[in-house]
C-alpha cells in the first residue's frame, strides 16, 4: 500500500504574491497539479496534501478532486513537522510493505518514471529508505548526503548546519523520500528541533534509519531538472523554459519539425503525426492532436483541438474546442471557437470566426465573416462579410445552408433560417425568410442618386 504526502504549506515570500506558491502556474497548470498528476499514476491508496499558507485557497482549488485529503500545518515548524500533520490521514495495514512517498508542491516536474524507479529500488530491499539525490557542481543551499568509507549513506547535513568538509560534498538531498510507513511514523515522533533553525527536519530520520540498521539507498532522476524547486518568479520562469525545451526535444525526437525549439509553449498534451511542421511562437493548451503533415504557421494558439492530416493553420489563428478534417486551410487571423466542426477541404480565411457550427466538405468562408450556430452543407461559398445573425438578445438560433449554396458578400442571415441546396443569395441581402433551393434570393431597395445634394460644411474656423 502506497501513501503520497505532498508538502504544500510554504508561503513563498519571494514570489511577492497573494496567491499560494503552489498555485502559481508552470506550463499552464499550478505547480501542485503537476505533482498530483505524476504521483497519481502510481495509484496510491491515499494522497495527503499538507497545507498552511493560503490553505483555504488550495483546498478550494482542489475541492472537486477525488482521492485527496488535506492536513493543516499551523504553525509551520519544518518539513518533519509538516509530515507529522499528515500521519493521521495515512492508510495503513498489517503489511510491513506499506510505504509513504514524500513530495513537494513547489518541485513540479518530478516524473512518474522517476518515482516508480524509487519504488522499484525500495522493493529490492524491502526494509530500506530511498532518497532521491543529485550531484550538483554548485550545491547551493541543499542538504549534503554524507556517506561512510564504504559509500553507504549515513545522514544528511543541512546547509546551514554544515561544516567545511560537508559543504564540499556535491551529492545533495532533493527532499523526495520513500520509506516504510510504520517506521516513518515512529521516526517522525522522535524528531527534535535542536538545530540552527529551531525546526523539525525530516532529514533527521535518515540517521534514525541507519541507527535502526535499515539501509538508506539513493535513487537518481532521469534529469536533474526534475528536482528543481521554485521559490521566486525568476526560478519559475527558468523552470518554465527548461520544461518547454524538454517538450520541444521530445517532439524533435519524434520527427516533428520546429522552426525554433526555443519558441514553443506546450501547456497540456500535444500529439503529432508524421511530418508535422510548427512555426515560431505557437502555444498548445489542453489536449491537441495534429495529424500527419499538418502545418502550423507562426503565432497560433490551439486549445483542445484535433486537426486531421494535411491541414494547414496559417499565422495568428486561434483555435479552441474545434475539430478539423483533412487538407483544410485555416487563417491567417482566423478564429475557431468551441463546437466548430469542419469537414475535409474546408477553407476558413482571414478574420473569419466560426462557433458551434458544422461546415461541410469543400465549403469556404475566406474573408471577414461570422458563422455561429449553423449547419453548412458541402461546397458552400460564404462571401466576404457574411454574418449568421444567431442571437436575438435572449436565445441562440440556427442557420441551415444546403449543399452548393452561394452566399454573396455582405449578407446577413437572420436565424432561424434555412437556405436550400444550390440557392444563391445576392450580395448585400438581409435574409429573414427561408431561401428556396436553386433560386436567386435578394433584398434590395432601389438605388437613388441625388444630383442636387451638397455635402455639409463645417461650421466655424478650421482647426
- What is the set of active-site residues? 367
Calculated CA dihedral for residues 58, 64, 67, 72, nearest 10 degrees: 30
Question: What cell does 403 get?
Answer: 449543399
Strands 29-30 and 25-26: antiparallel
Q: Are the C-beta atoms of 281 and 287 separated by less than 8 Å?
A: no
Question: What cell does 25 get?
Answer: 502556474
Give the per-residue SS3 of the chain. CEEEEEEECCCCHHHCCCCCHHHCEECCEEHHHHHHHHHHCCCCCEEEEEEECEHHHHHHHCCCCCCEEEEECCCCCCHHHHHHHHHHHCCCCCCCCCEEEEEECCCCCCCHHHHHHHHHHHHHCCCCEEEEEEECCCCCCCCEEEECCCCCEEEEECHHHCCHHHHCCCEEEEEEEEEEHHHHHHHHHCCCCCCCCCCCCHHHHHHHHHHCCCCEEEECCCCHHHHCCCCCHHHHHHHHHHHHHHHHHHHHHCCCEECCCCCEEEEEEEEECCCCEECCCEEEEEEEEECCCCEECCCCEEEEEEECCCCEECCCCEEECCEECCCCEECCCCEECCCCEECCCCEEEECCEEEEEEECCCCEEEECCEEEEEEECCCCEECCCCEEECECCCCECCEEECCCCEECCCCEEECCEEECCCCEECCCCEECCCECCCCEECCCCCCCCCCCCCCCCCCCCCC
Phi then psi dihedrals of residue 64, to 5 deg: -85, -5
CA atoms within 13 A on the CB side of 406: 10
Residues in CB range of 66: below 8 A, 6 or more apart: none
Question: What cell does 402 get?
Answer: 444546403
Residues 428, 434, 439, CA angle at the centre, nearest 5°? 70
Phi then psi dihedrals of residue 205, to 5 deg: -70, -15
Amino acid at each position: 500500500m502506497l501513501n503520497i504526502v505532498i508538502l504544500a504549506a510554504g508561503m513563498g515570500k519571494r514570489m511577492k504574491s497573494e496567491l499560494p506558491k503552489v498555485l502559481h502556474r508552470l506550463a499552464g497548470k499550478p505547480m501542485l497539479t503537476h505533482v498530483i498528476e505524476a504521483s497519481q499514476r502510481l495509484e496510491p491508496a491515499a494522497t495527503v496534501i499538507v497545507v498552511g499558507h493560503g490553505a483555504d485557497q488550495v483546498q478550494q482549488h482542489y475541492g472537486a478532486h477525488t482521492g485527496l485529503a488535506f492536513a493543516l500545518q499551523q504553525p509551520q515548524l519544518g518539513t518533519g513537522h509538516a509530515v507529522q500533520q499528515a500521519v493521521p490521514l495515512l492508510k495503513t495495514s498489517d503489511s510491513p510493505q506499506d510505504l509513504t512517498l514524500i513530495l513537494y508542491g513547489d518541485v513540479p516536474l518530478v516524473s512518474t518514471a522517476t518515482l516508480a524507479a524509487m519504488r522499484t529500488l525500495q522493493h529490492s530491499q524491502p526494509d530500506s529508505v530511498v532518497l532521491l539525490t543529485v550531484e550538483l557542481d554548485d550545491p547551493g543551499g541543499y542538504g549534503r548526503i554524507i556517506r561512510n568509507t564504504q559509500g553507504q549513506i549515513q545522514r544528511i547535513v543541512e546547509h546551514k548546519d554544515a561544516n567545511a568538509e560537508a559543504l564540499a560534498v556535491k551529492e545533495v538531498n532533493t527532499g523526495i523520500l520513500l520509506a516504510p510507513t510504520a517506521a516513518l511514523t515512529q521516526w517522525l515522533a522522535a524528531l527534535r528541533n535542536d538545530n540552527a533553525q529551531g525546526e523539525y527536519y525530516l532529514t533527521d530520520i535518515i540517521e534514525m534509519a541507519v541507527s535502526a540498521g535499515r539501509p538508506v539507498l539513493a535513487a537518481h532522476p532521469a534529469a536533474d531538472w526534475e528536482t528543481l524547486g521554485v521559490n521566486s518568479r525568476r526560478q519559475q520562469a527558468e523552470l518554465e523554459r527548461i520544461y518547454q525545451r524538454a517538450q520541444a526535444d521530445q517532439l524533435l525526437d519524434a520527427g516533428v519539425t520546429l522552426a525554433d525549439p526555443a519558441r514553443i509553449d506546450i501547456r497540456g498534451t500535444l500529439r503529432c503525426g508524421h511530418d508535422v511542421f510548427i512555426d515560431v511562437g505557437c502555444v498548445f493548451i489542453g489536449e491537441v492532436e495534429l495529424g500527419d503533415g499538418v502545418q502550423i504557421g507562426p503565432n497560433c494558439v490551439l486549445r483542445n483541438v484535433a486537426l486531421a492530416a494535411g491541414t494547414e493553420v496559417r499565422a495568428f489563428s486561434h483555435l479552441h474546442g474545434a475539430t478539423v478534417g483533412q487538407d483544410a486551410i485555416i487563417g491567417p487571423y482566423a478564429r475557431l471557437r468551441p463546437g466548430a466542426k469542419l469537414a475535409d477541404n474546408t477553407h476558413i480565411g482571414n478574420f473569419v470566426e466560426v462557433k458551434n457550427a458544422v461546415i461541410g466538405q469543400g465549403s469556404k468562408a475566406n474573408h471577414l465573416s461570422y458563422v455561429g450556430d449553423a449547419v453548412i452543407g458541402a461546397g458552400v461559398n460564404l462571401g466576404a462579410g457574411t454574418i449568421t445573425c444567431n442571437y436575438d438578445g435572449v436565445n441562440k438560433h440556427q442557420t441551415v445552408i444546403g449543399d452548393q449554396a452561394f452566399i454573396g458578400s455582405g449578407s446577413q442571415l437572420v436565424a432561424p433560417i434555412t437556405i436550400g441546396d444550390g440557392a444563391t443569395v445576392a450580395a448585400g441581402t438581409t435574409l429573414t425568410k427561408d431561401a428556396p433551393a436553386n433560386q436567386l434570393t435578394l433584398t434590395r431597395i432601389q438605388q437613388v442618386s441625388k444630383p442636387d445634394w451638397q455635402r455639409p460644411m463645417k461650421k466655424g474656423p478650421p482647426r
